[in-house]
Amino acid sequence: MDVAAILQEGIWRQAAVEFSKEKTKATRAGKVGPQGVQPFLNRTIDERMEQNDWKGSQGRYRKEDAWVRITFRHQMSLEADLLDALYENKRQGASQTAIVAASNDFLKVISPNDWRALCSNEKLAAACRRMEGCLDFPLFIGRLEPFSDLPKDVTAMLASQRPRGRTVPAHRGGLSEE
C-alpha cells in the first residue's frame, strides 16, 4: 500500500477520537489535558506505517527504495527535512523520496496554539521553489489533509478554544542578604 492510501485510511479519525478521549478525561479530572492532536497523529501514523511494512518511526520511514518524511516539526527544521531527503536519495539509494506536511488549514486544527510555527505544506513548497535548480533528485511534496469524517462531539471539541495550559509565574524576589 502506498503512503497516500495509508494516510487516507482513517488515521485522522483515530487520532482525533483518541485526543478527544484524553481531553475529556483530563477535563473531568479538573486538568487542562492535551491541546493538540499532533502526538496522537504521530503515534497513529507510526502504527499504520509499521502495519504496512514501512520501517522507521518519528515521521521517517523506508520501504525498499522509497523514503518518506511525514513532518509536523517546527518550521526551522524544514531545511533539515530537505537534507534528509537528499541524503536518503544520494547516499542511501532511495530512488523515491517524499516529504509530507499538513496544510496550514489542517495545522490550525491539529495544533491551534502553534500552527504558525510548524512546517506546513505551503512553507515546504515555497522552500522547494526557492531551491529550484538546486534539488537535483526526485522529490515528491505531499499535503496531509483530514480525510476522515469525525463524530459530531469530536468535531465540536476540535472547533472549541484550546488555550495553553495554565502556568504559575516564577518568584521574582530579589537576592537575600542573609
Tell me whether residue 123 is in a domain: yes
* pLDDT classification of 171: cutoffs 50, 70, 90: very low
Tell me whether residue 62 is in a domain: yes
> Which amino acid, one-letter code, is at 3?
V
Tell me whether residue 120 is in a domain: yes
Show the domain range for 25: 3-147
In degrees to the nearest 10, what's the CA dihedral of 113, 14, 54, 95?
Answer: -50
Tell me whether residue 44 is in a domain: yes
What integer is the mean pLDDT of 150-160? 90
pLDDT tens-digit profile of 119-138?
Answer: 999 999 999 999 888 888 99
pLDDT tens-digit profile of 37-53?
Answer: 999 999 999 999 999 99
Which pLDDT does position 48 carry in this prediction? 95
Residues contacting residue 56 through CB under 8 Å, at least 6 positions apart: 49, 62
Tell me whether residue 166 is in a domain: no
pLDDT at 14 over 70: yes
Tell me whether residue 57 is in a domain: yes
Question: Which grid cell sits at 167?
Answer: 502556568
- Residue 90: how many other CB atoms lie within 10 Å: 12
The CATH number assigned to the domain holding 13 equals 3.40.91.20
Tell me whether residue 176 is in a domain: no
pLDDT at 166 over 70: no
Q: Residues 148, 12: contact at Cβ < 8 Å?
A: yes
Count of CA atoms in the C-beta half-sphere (13 A) of 11: 24
pLDDT tens-digit profile of 55-113?
Answer: 998 999 999 999 999 999 888 888 999 999 999 999 999 999 999 999 999 999 998 88
* Total domain count, the chain: 1
Angle subtended at Cα 66 by Cα 128 and Cα 69, rounded to the nearest 5 degrees: 50
Tell me whether residue 103 is in a domain: yes
